[in-house]
Amino acid sequence: MNELDAVTPSQQKRMLGTSTLAFTVCFAVWTIFSIIGIKIKQDLGLNDTQFGILVATPILTGSLSRIFLGIWTDQYGGRMVFTAVMALTSVAVWMLSTVTTYEMFLVAALGVGLAGGSFAVGIAYVSRWYEKERQGTALGIFGMGNVGAAVTNFGAPFLLVALGWEATAQVYAVVLLITAVLFFVTTKEDPATAERKAKGEKPVSAFMQLTPLKKLQVWRFSLYYFFVFGAFVALALWLPRYYVGVYGLDITTAGMLAAAYALPGSIFRAMGGYMSDRYGARAVMYWTFFASAVICFFLSYPATDYTIQGIEGPITFNLTIGLPIFVALTVALGFFMSLGKAAVYKHIPVYYPGHVGSVGGLVGMIGGLGGFVLPISFGIMNDLIGVWTSCFMLLFLLVTIALLWMHFAIQRMERKATAEQLVGLPEFPEMVDIHEPHHTAAEGSARNRRTPPPTGSSTQAAN
């Protein structure tokens, strides 16, 4: 009997809805320093380096904690781990309103970062409630919790003005604790964990949970997520500065235009999951990388003056991406990144069903580190190259490497694969022909040339 046979559609919807709400609150908390950090800087008289470290600390710890939280989720179940993460984080957020020294603020920020680690918990928990052909859509909906960043950007300033930053932190702490209680009360143990406990089986050891991380394929997934999520977070932080420096906008207008980029990256993630279920995650990744490479190429082109020798003398003209076109291109980039984020995580529960937490945690960790590393890299490149569009040059290089690695990995496995090796492949939409009953070894070899199989092993996805 399949462990999902007893799960009803209403249970699936309730678990998904509650988990998405919890992740939205966690993501809002994770980005709280984008608002209250400015006031803390003023109160403590911090320099820009100290301020940068303070703001980046939750992003860093939220990324690093994902792999450990993912492993614990595989071992003990998402219901308990998710609740514990929210409860502990609420204590750290409340602590922000009580500490007075910079060092203690950093300690509190470490705890606040756990909110970002909740993503690894959620994807493992949610995936176990759904059949593999619906997991992409479910995880895409769960990933929409990224909109919590917009909730903070739009809502926290009003709390800050009305109550002060200390009370704002306290409100966030109370809301997060209430969410933890509601999550624990309204959810159930996921089917896989419940079945294991019913049989009296012990959880798999942390060492065994880490074994898939030796596969090169997992690290390739991590590179994909470094771009689609890490670069997404990095640009969300960098674009306001870019708008002010390049187009001379005021900070309010720059922030609103940056939000126009960020919102598609959250809202359309569910669409990416649906498309991954329907058309195949590999196809969605190809669309994402190719479109992103084209967009980043145009965004990389700096404003340039040209002089050509005409018939009647020199002709001078300027090539510059105007503000409306730039905004449209960044919104399109955010849209394709949102599709890619869902497509990456579509693969994990299908190919690593017993290690969703550890594999998803590593992929999420590397992606989150992109949000920490890339903004620093953007600043360094500005200083070294002296060209504003250098940030997009770096992103173009990154997405091109990811696209080429994915493509040649697929081609390499295609050359090695045989009809017998294709038998055990998971039934992704793009592989439907392979699984037809009339498929013979000869047909398999021919179709294999048309439909690239996955890399890594005969039972793993190509991307």
| Per-residue CA distances from 276 to 13, 119, 136, 340 (Å) | 19, 19, 6, 9
**Burial readout 126-150 (b: 16 or more C-beta within 10 A, e: otherwise):** bbbbbebeebbbbbbbbbbbbbbbb
Residue identified by tokens 């809502």 is 155
At 340, list the tokens.
């890619």
Residue identified by tokens 């919807």 is 13
Q: What is the pLDDT of residue 438?
A: 46
Looking at residue 363, the DSSP 8-state letter turns out to be H
Looking at residue 455, the DSSP 8-state letter turns out to be S
Q: What number of other Cβ atoms are within 10 A of residue 264's Cβ?
A: 21
Radius of gyration of the chain (CA): 23
Structure pTM?
Answer: 0.67
- Burial class of residue 28 (count of CB atoms within 10 Å of its CB; 0-12, 13-18, 19+): buried
Q: What is the pLDDT of residue 270?
A: 73
Q: What is the pLDDT of residue 296?
A: 93
Ordered DSSP codes for 163-232:
H-HHHHHHHHHHHHHHHHHHHHHH----HHHHHHHHTTPPPPPHHHHTGGGGSHHHHHHHHHHIIIIIIH
Per-residue pLDDT of 273-323, as tens digits, reads 788 878 877 888 899 999 999 999 999 888 777 777 777 777 776 677 888
The residue type found at 62 is: G
In the chain, which residues have pLDDT < 50?
A: 1, 206, 419-420, 434-435, 438-463
Residue 173 backbone dihedrals phi, psi, to 5 degrees: -65, -45
Which ranges in 31-101 belong to alpha helices (H)? Answer: 33-44, 48-76, 78-96
Using CA atoms, how far apart are residues 459 and 353, in angstroms rounded to an integer? 12
Q: What is the fold of 10-209?
A: Growth Hormone; Chain: A; (1.20.1250)
Q: What is the pLDDT of residue 48?
A: 60
Contact 336, 291 (CB under 8 A): yes
Beta strand 304-310 with 313-319: parallel, antiparallel or unpaired?
antiparallel
Ordered DSSP codes for 394-441:
HHHHHHHHHHHHHHHHHHHHHHH--TGGGTT----GGGGGGG-TT--H
Q: What is the pLDDT of residue 451?
A: 42
Q: What is the pLDDT of residue 462?
A: 38
Looking at residue 352, the DSSP 8-state letter turns out to be -
Which ranges in 280-355 belong to alpha helices (H)? Answer: 281-300, 323-351
Q: Indicate the domain borders of the chain.
A: 10-209
Per-residue pLDDT of 336-347, as tens digits, reads 998 888 888 776
At 140, list the tokens.
């895409």
At 99, list the tokens.
């500490």
Distance of CA 219 to the CA centre of its chain: 15
